[in-house]
Amino acid sequence: MSKDSLLKLCRYYHGEKNNPYEGDKALLWDYERAWVEDSANDSDSNSEYLSDYLTYGLRDFSKFDKIPVTLKAMLFNRYAKNAYSMKDAVSGFKEFYQKYYK
């Protein structure tokens, strides 16, 4: 998929050089930027994130919201870094995701 096509799937990153946000939205902008770069370069990191995302029961989470599952998987991975465990991160991630992607 081309970089332009990937950018159309993002909510916060639109190809800017400088992050226009602060707080959580600044993090989301940066994560989306990294996801676009990884996806455009066929990075293996997306498959690692996806494996964890599916393992922890998120396969059907917001599956009709037009956000690619690989982006959601990356967001879950980043969110889970601040949790006791990935399993413990699931419910908090869902709330966090709903706040910024609904």
Q: Which domain holds residue 65?
A: 3-101
Residue 58 has pLDDT above 90, yes or no: yes
Structure tokens at 102: 């609904």
* Predicted structure pTM score: 0.92
Q: What is the pLDDT of residue 74?
A: 96
**Number of compact structural domains in the chain:** 1
Answer whether 27's CB lies under 8 Å from 79's CB. Answer: no
Q: How many helices (H) and strands (E) does the chain have?
A: 5, 0
Rounded Cα–Cα distance for residues 74 and 34 (Å):
9
* Span 3-56, pLDDT tens digits: 999 999 999 999 999 999 999 999 999 999 999 999 988 777 788 899 999 999
